Amino acid sequence: MTCFMIFMKKISLLISLILLFQILFSQLKKDSAVKVIAHINYQSDDKNLIPFSLNNPLTLNDFAGPVNSNVTGDAETYSGILLKYYFSHEHGQLLISVDVFPFFDKSKSWCRKESRNDKTLSHEQIHFYITAIKACEMIEEIEKYHFSIRGYKMELQKISNDKNLEAEEYQNKYDFETKHGRKIEMQQKWNEKITQSLSEQLCFK
For residues 13-45, b (16+ Cβ closer than 10 Å) or e, as one string? eeeeeeeeeeeeeeeeeebebbebebebbeeee
pTM confidence score: 0.82
Q: Where are the domains of the chain?
A: 1-32, 34-204
pLDDT tens digit at each of 205 positions of the chain: 444 344 344 445 544 444 444 444 444 444 457 889 999 999 988 999 999 999 999 999 999 999 998 888 899 999 999 999 998 887 778 899 999 999 999 999 999 999 999 999 999 999 999 999 999 999 999 999 999 888 999 999 999 999 999 999 999 999 999 999 999 999 999 999 999 999 999 898 7
- In sequence order, what are the residues at sequence separation of 6 or more whose Cβ sits closer than 8 angstroms to the Cβ of residue 122? 181, 187, 191
